[in-house]
C-alpha cells in the first residue's frame, strides 16, 4: 500500500460534494442495514470535560464495505470563541487493510446526516398531508432538519420557529425563507411553535421545554437535541404519551431524549416501540392511526457518518483535493 494517498477533505469541499437528497437515501439505507444486522457499531465513548463545559465522543463503525471513526465534540458555549458548538473529524478507512483513505471534516456531515435522520422519521411517522412545522431551536441543526423535511414532505404550508434569542429566530426566518422558498415566521413562545403537525426540537436543554399540554393528538415529534446523559427537551408526561421510536435503543437509553424519563422511572424499556430502522425496513409498523403522537429520539449513529463519508470520498477521488502519503 506504500505510495497510496490519504485524502484531506475540508468542510468547504464536503459541502460542495454532498447533497441532502443523496444523504437521505444513504441514511435511510443505513437504518435498514442496521435493523437487518448488517452493520457493526460499538457504543459511543464519551470524554466529558466539565471544567471546559463540553465533551468529546469517539464513534467507530463498519457498514456496507466502509470502516472508520468520527471524533466529535459538543461545546455549547463555543459561540464566544466564534466556533461551532459541534465540531467533528472523520477518519475513513479501507476495511481490507486498515489504510486511512481520507481524513475529512465531519461537522457538516454531522449536521446533514442528523437532518436526514429527521427526514426519514417524518417520512415514516408523520401523518399524511402534514403541513405545519414547528421548530423549537434555530441553530445549525434546525437548518438541516428543515432541509430534509422539505425533501420528504411536499405539503408544507407553514413553518413556525421559536428560539430564546429573538435574533436567532429572526435570522433563521430570513435565511431559510429565501433558501427553501417556504412560508416561515418567527413566534414568541414554545406553545405557538408546538401548535403544529410536526415538532422539531434542537436545543441544548437539560430541563423540558415542550410539555404535553402543548401537543395535539396526531403530532409527530423529532426530538433531536438530547444527545448526552441528563439532556431533556420533552416533559416526561409527553414522552409517556408518545409512541417512542429511537435510532438505537442502547444509545438512546443512555444519552437520548428518553434517558431522563428512564432514569426517573417515568417510562420503562418496554415502552420503547422500536427503532427507526425496524420501521424503515418494514419489520415494524410506523404510524398506525391519525391520533397517536409519535416521537423519534435521535442520538446520532456512526453508521450515518460513514455512509456520508463514503459519498464524499468517492466523489473527492476525481477532484483536486489535498493528500499525503501516510507511509512515506
- The one catalytic residue in 2, 34, 38, 70 is 70
The β-bridge relationship of strands 39-40 and 54-63 is: antiparallel
The per-residue pLDDT for range 241-288, each reduced to its tens digit, is 999 999 999 999 999 999 999 999 999 999 999 999 999 999 999 999
Average pLDDT, the chain: 96
Tell me the average pLDDT across 115-129.
Answer: 97
pLDDT of residue 325: 86
**CA–CA–CA angle 305, 21, 132 (5° rounding):** 105
pLDDT of residue 324: 86
pLDDT of residue 156: 97
Main-chain dihedrals φ then ψ at residue 54, nearest 5 degrees? -155, -175
Percent of the chain with pLDDT over 70: 99
Query: What is the enclosing helix (H) or strand (E) of 119?
Result: helix 107-125
pLDDT of residue 43: 87
Instruction: Report the predicted TM-score, pTM, of the whole model to 2 decimal places.
Output: 0.94
Task: For residue 62, list its beta bridge partners.
Answer: 40, 67
Return the closest-CA partner of residue 286 out of 278, 104, 43: 278
CATH code, residues 6-109+303-324: 3.30.1780.10
- Grid cell, residue 294, equals 409519535
pLDDT of residue 3: 59
CATH code, residues 126-300: 3.40.50.720
Q: In which band, very low, low, confident or very high, does the pLDDT at 58 lie, cut at 50, 70 and 90?
A: very high
The number of helices, as runs of H, and strands, as runs of E, in the chain is 11, 16
Q: How many CB atoms lie within 10 A of CB 19?
A: 13
Q: Ramachandran region of residue 246, left (φ > 0), alpha (ψ -120 to 50) or beta?
A: beta
The per-residue pLDDT for range 62-113, each reduced to its tens digit, is 999 999 999 999 999 998 999 988 899 999 999 999 999 999 999 999 999 9
Active site residue 70: yes
**CA–CA–CA angle 169, 111, 164 (5° rounding):** 25
The per-residue pLDDT for range 180-223, each reduced to its tens digit, is 999 999 999 999 999 999 999 999 999 999 999 999 999 999 99
Q: Ramachandran region of residue 292, left (φ > 0), alpha (ψ -120 to 50) or beta?
A: beta
Provide the 3-class DSSP secondary structure of residue 196: coil
Rounded to whole angstroms, the Cα distance separating 254 from 4 reads 40
Q: Return the domain boundaries, the chain.
A: 6-109+303-324, 126-300
Q: Does residue 2 surpass a pLDDT of 60?
A: no
Amino acid at each position: 500500500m506504500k505510495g497510496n494517498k490519504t485524502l484531506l477533505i475540508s468542510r468547504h469541499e464536503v459541502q460542495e460534494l454532498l447533497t441532502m437528497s443523496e444523504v437521505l437515501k444513504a441514511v435511510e439505507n443505513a437504518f435498514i442495514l442496521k435493523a437487518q444486522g448488517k452493520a457493526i457499531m460499538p457504543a459511543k465513548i464519551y470524554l466529558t470535560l466539565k471544567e471546559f463545559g463540553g465533551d468529546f465522543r469517539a464513534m467507530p463503525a463498519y457498514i456496507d464495505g466502509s470502516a472508520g471513526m468520527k471524533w466529535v465534540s459538543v461545546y455549547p458555549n463555543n459561540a464566544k470563541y466564534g466556533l461551532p458548538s459541534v465540531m467533528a473529524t472523520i477518519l475513513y478507512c479501507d476495511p481490507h487493510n486498515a489504510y486511512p483513505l481520507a481524513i475529512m471534516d465531519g461537522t457538516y456531515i454531522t449536521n446533514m446526516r442528523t437532518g436526514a435522520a429527521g427526514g426519514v422519521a417524518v417520512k415514516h411517522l408523520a401523518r399524511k398531508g402534514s403541513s405545519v412545522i414547528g421548530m423549537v431551536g434555530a441553530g445549525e441543526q434546525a437548518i438541516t432538519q428543515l432541509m430534509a423535511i422539505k425533501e420528504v414532505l411536499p405539503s408544507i404550508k407553514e413553518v413556525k420557529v421559536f428560539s430564546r434569542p429573538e435574533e436567532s429566530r429572526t435570522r433563521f426566518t430570513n435565511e431559510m425563507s429565501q433558501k427553501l422558498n417556504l412560508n416561515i415566521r418567527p413566534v414568541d413562545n414554545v406553545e405557538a411553535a408546538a401548535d403544529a403537525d410536526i415538532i422539531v426540537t434542537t436545543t441544548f436543554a437539560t430541563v423540558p421545554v415542550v410539555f404535553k399540554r402543548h401537543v395535539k393528538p396526531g403530532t409527530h415529534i423529532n426530538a433531536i437535541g438530547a444527545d448526552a446523559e441528563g439532556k431533556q427537551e420533552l416533559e416526561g408526561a409527553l414522552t409517556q404519551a408518545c409512541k417512542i421510536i429511537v435510532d438505537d435503543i442502547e444509545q438512546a437509553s443512555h444519552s437520548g431524549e428518553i434517558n431522563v424519563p428512564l432514569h426517573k422511572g417515568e417510562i420503562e424499556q418496554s415502552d420503547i416501540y422500536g427503532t427507526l430502522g425496524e420501521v424503515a425496513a418494514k419489520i415494524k409498523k410506523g404510524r398506525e392511526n391519525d391520533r397517536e403522537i409519535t416521537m423519534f429520539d435521535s442520538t446520532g449513529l456512526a453508521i450515518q457518518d460513514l455512509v456520508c463519508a463514503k459519498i464524499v470520498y468517492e466523489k473527492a477521488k476525481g477532484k483536486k483535493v489535498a493528500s499525503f502519503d501516510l507511509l512515506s
